[in-house]
Structure 1
Amino acid sequence: MKAAKTYPTQYLQTVSRAVAVLRTFRGGSRDMSLKELTEELKLNKVTTFRLARTLVYEGLLVQDPTNDRYSLSFGCLALVDAMLNRDGLAEISRKHLRVAREETGETATILVREGWDRVVIATEASLQPVRYVMEVGRRNRVYLSGSGACLVSGMTERERESLFAFIETDSIAKEYGLTKEVLLDRLEHIKENGWGTAQGEWAAEASGVAAPVYNKDDEVIAAIAIAMPRNRYNKNYRDKCAAAAMKAAKLVGEEYDSINR
């Protein structure tokens, strides 16, 4: 029998469970009955019902009166709309991400750093039948993947040293074999080539390349990533995608500066 999840004393179990309910809907791509929610969350029916009804009351879930199934409410957008387009970065990037997708045939995304994580703020999914999609809001450790290394490349020396200390104790870093030395090698590659790459970190069969987005002060404000299945990753294709990522990153940075003077 699966052990019950434990929570640090400074966390509220009810809040964590409510967040788990919202995540179960996979960004709004599915609706679910109370029975399905209960089974997926592995909670008792009464607890699941109370969580769902509270989220409906708060405008984050909606219940279809014809079949009683739950789904995410558009009320969720009110929580993130302004944040996703902070400084206009998400909106600025969209047309350039679409061009990068057309040039490569792969999913193009823009990510920013939040603490020791990287977060997708806009994406243009590949139209190919076999593809990797990085959904808006998707969060992973900043030291994972080429896009993460691009964001780390913009940290101050003090921030990097703090990150290296964090990596030494972080269980996710141990799981992926990420060390200070591995990350330093990636940073050197970005410095020499203008782009970074990694394979099989945010998803086992995924590969990607990324380029940092700079503002007029030469600060890294984001990273443009091109994600693809590993079976399409080879040197020529990688270099083509890297060129598209760098082109998009340059244009996003220039447009960002033009509206944030």
Structure 2
Amino acid sequence: MPSDSSSTLQHITAVLDCFSTVQPELGVREVARLANLSPSTAGRLMAEMKEAGILQQNPANRAYSMGSKILAWAGVYLSTLDLREIALPFMEDLRQKTGETVSLYLLDGMDRLCIERMESHHTVRIVTRVGKRLPLYAGSGGKAMLAFLPEAQIESLLNSDQLVPFTSATMVDPLILRQDLEKVRRQGYAISVGEWLADAAGVATPIFGRDNTVIGAISISGPTSRCTPEQIEAYADCLVQAADEISLQLGYTGVRVSTRREKTP
């Protein structure tokens, strides 16, 4: 027997499937018939979906149509497609130049979502599963995005109970993490040594979208035996250039990271 939550999700999906470009507006009885639901169930569910912004209601004829929440979700999906498509050739170039794993992350709330990776050809390499969700505060890919979020969002995370360590190197002290994020903003890139995986090191740079806000990050990572501090600094130069080009192709019109960054002393 399906659980109540899975049954509700199936009903929501069935309701949304009723709408189309041919029938963008539907009444409760029409949806009930098309979705094979009782009118009372359809009416209750559609009212709840309206409250959540998934549906909206025309006050003139009381008919429903898809709401602004759907548009927001569609925008995230489309930005993911654009980001991945634009980033792929740059990722391949970075892998060829460095020989290390190159990963692409999408900002998702206060997490980062791996949406593409190109693995190193070395036997010993860092593997990040596509679809894996990771926190922003641990690892170079997350910190590259976190540093460029609005200050209120940064402070909300730093003052929360979400800063839990994954290794002994994970920054969970708000003061230390805040200082590191300031350094990321000055340099234009984030470095991680053992923060997410004990024997891994990485460098990442933020990617900005057409609204000039951070939407993702691109990273180069490998074992600490190969990714020395000197090597990481060398990788940062080509990584910043690649991220700048990706941002520009996405419609970013702000200041390039490469023109405002400071080198590590």
Flag the structure with larger Rg: 2
The alignment's TM-score, normalised by the length of structure 1, stands at 0.62
Stretches of structure 2 that go unaligned for 5 or more consecutive residues are 7-75, 253-265
Q: Post-superposition shift, 1:152? A: 0.7
Which structure carries more helix by proportion?
A: 1
Between the aligned partners of 2:102 and 2:171, the Cα distance in structure 1 is: 26
The answer on 1:101 being equivalent to 2:106 is: no
The TM-score, its normalising length taken from structure 2, stands at 0.61
Cα displacement (A) at 1:236: 2.2
**Deviating 4+ runs (over 6 angstroms):** none
Provide the residue aligned with 2:203 in structure 1: 209
Matched with 1:255 is: 249
> How far apart are 1:256 and its partner, in Å?
1.3
Which residue of structure 2 aligns with residue 170 of structure 1? 162
Partner of 2:127: 133
Superposed displacement of residue 177, structure 1: 4.7
Amino acid at match of 1:181: L
Structure 1 match to 2:190? 196
Matched residue SS, 2:225: helix
Alpha carbons of structure 1 residues 178 and 149: separation in structure 2 relative to 1, 3 Å: same
Letter in 2 for 1:222: G
Change (3 A) 1:157 1:131: same
Amino acid at match of 1:127: H
User: Take 2:130 and 2:85, find their aligned partners in 1: how far apart are those partners?
Assistant: 13
The alignment partner of 2:215 has SS state of strand
Q: C-alpha distance in 1, partners of 2:203/2:163?
A: 25
Structure 1 residues 193 and 177, CA gap change in structure 2 (3 angstroms): closer
Find the aligned partners of 1:96 and 1:84 in 2 and give their Cα distance: 19
- Contact kept, 8 Å, 1:98 with 1:124, in 2: the verdict is yes
Alignment of 1:1-261 (within 5 A): 83=77, 86-166=80-160, 169-170=161-162, 172-173=164-165, 176-257=170-251
Moved more, 225-234 or 215-224: 215-224
In structure 1, stretches of 5+ residues that fail to align are 1-11, 16-81
